[in-house]
Amino acid sequence: MTAFKTLDDLDLSGKRVLVRVDVNVPVADGKVTDTTRIERIVPTLNDIFAKGGQPVLLAHFGRPKGKVVPEMSLRIVVDDLARLSGRSVTFVETDWNDVTGAKTAIAAAPRANIIVLENTRFHDGEEKNDPDLIARMASLGDAYVNDAFSAAHRAHASTTGLAHVLPSAAGRLMEAELHALESGLGNPARPVIALVGGAKVSTKMDLLENLITKVDMLVIGGGMANTFLFAQGHDVGASLCEKDLADTALRVIAKAASGGCEIILPVDAVVAKEFKANAANRTVGLDQVASDDMILDVGPKSVDAIDAALAKAKTLVWNGPLGAFEIAPFDRGTVAAAQAAARLTKSGALVSVAGGGDTVAALAHAGVKDEFSYVSTAGGAFLEWMEGKVLPGVDALMH
């Protein structure tokens, strides 16, 4: 990966620092229900203060589509940010068409305070990467720090535009993310194993096509594995399966074989007649799936095969569950594989990098979210990085 600047490369003494963060947190009944994203930006804010600067936060919240939507105000994160950072927070009402008032409010705020500006997506120029909005944003600070990897796949005013007009660097969270990704696929210790699950092949075809050129072993699980099994001639009964993608699945298998990437598919399955918690189920070989059976998890022999592959690997990249992990007992395969990966990571034998919404939830469910080398909270950006795409927000920090 090309070198990018970090906080260590910027002189921030006496400067106001525009910090793009992702605090697009879940909210219920007017309260933040998961503060993980807020917690993760605190080290960057602390370092900016330590270097004599003052952080001025830029962020989006929800999808207001360029309109002012009061219930999508960033005011919602102020109390939690103050509590988690141990600092006073000044919230600035921001008219993105005329930032004169925001400038006055920023100037009046105590230097020891964190400043939070209003939702950047309240102006339609944000998602258009509009030069006029970029100029107005830039006038509110002296330097720019991007700490929002999870928004780095968007070429927006606050994620890429500002990096081209102000002295810029990656924040600590972005820095950690990029180093983790480099150790995952950029310059990994080999052998590398990728574990990809989820419901549909169609949403992860670019991902699979890229991974088979980068990794030594590829485990395919979840509903998407059914499409591969069907393509190989197995009856998958009433399981989720994209039968129209059978030829594509066979192409991936052939391409992997010619490139020396071993594909690991389920060899047995846990099936049920209905999709509900604790439904009557049985473990079967792939030749025993009845026409009204749904494959809802990998079986124990499949888990053993995954464990054996993990034991051979030095690096793991994980995206997506192996089965319907949200409902017992169809969580067993995902939990077993996650715990095996965690044990290997803890022993120092494996570097494990995971990301994507379902993945984070699955690892938390397995009780190992904090035992992987790195778990990314970025959904779309993590997936696009795994697909081998250039992320505009990262690319902007390289120039």
Q: What is the DSSP letter of 261?
A: P
Say if CB 17 and CB 145 are below 8 A apart: yes
Asked if 37 is an active-site residue, the reply is yes
User: What are 227-243's pLDDT values in tens digits?
Assistant: 999 999 999 999 999 99
- Gap between the Cα atoms of 159 and 135, Å rounded: 14
Q: What is the DSSP string of 209-245?
A: HHHTTT-SEEEE-HHHHHHHHHHTT---TTS---GGG
Q: Catalytic pick from 16, 20, 37, 204?
A: 37
Q: Which token pair is 285? A: 């070989």
User: Residue 374 is inside which H or E element, if any?
Assistant: strand 374-376
Residue 195's DSSP bridge partners are: 219, 318
Decide which of 205 and 344 is more confident.
Answer: 344
Spatial CB neighbours of 388, under 8 Å, sequence gap ≥ 6: 206, 210, 214
Equal fold, 7-171 vs 188-386: yes
Say if CB 69 and CB 121 are below 8 A apart: no
User: Per residue in 233-268, is it b (16+ CB within 10 Å) or e — as a string?
Assistant: ebebbbbbbbeebbebbeebbeebeeeebbbbbbbb
Q: Catalytic pick from 66, 357, 379, 388?
A: 357
- The alpha carbon of 98 is separated from its chain's Cα centroid by a whole number of angstroms, namely 34
CA angle 254, 258, 262 (to 5 degrees): 75
* CATH entry 3.30.365.10 includes domain 188-386: no
Asked if 200 is an active-site residue, the reply is yes
User: What are 299-332's pLDDT values in tens digits?
Assistant: 999 999 999 999 999 999 999 999 999 999 999 9
Asked if 380 is an active-site residue, the reply is yes
Which pTM was predicted? 0.86
Q: What is the pLDDT of residue 180?
A: 87
- The alpha carbon of 19 is separated from its chain's Cα centroid by a whole number of angstroms, namely 19
Domain boundaries, the chain: 7-171, 188-386
User: 98 — phi, psi (to 5°)?
Assistant: -150, 105
Q: Which amino acid is at 153?
A: H
Asked whether residue 385 carries a pLDDT value surpassing 90, the answer given is no
Q: Which amino acid is at 275?
A: F
- Cα atoms in the Cβ-side hemisphere of radius 13 Å centred on 84: 19
* CATH entry 3.30.870.10 includes domain 7-171: no
User: What are 27-80's pLDDT values in tens digits?
Assistant: 999 999 999 899 999 999 999 999 999 999 999 999 999 999 999 999 999 999
Asked whether residue 225 carries a pLDDT value surpassing 80, the answer given is yes
Q: Catalytic pick from 62, 66, 379, 380?
A: 380
Q: Catalytic pick from 5, 51, 128, 200?
A: 200
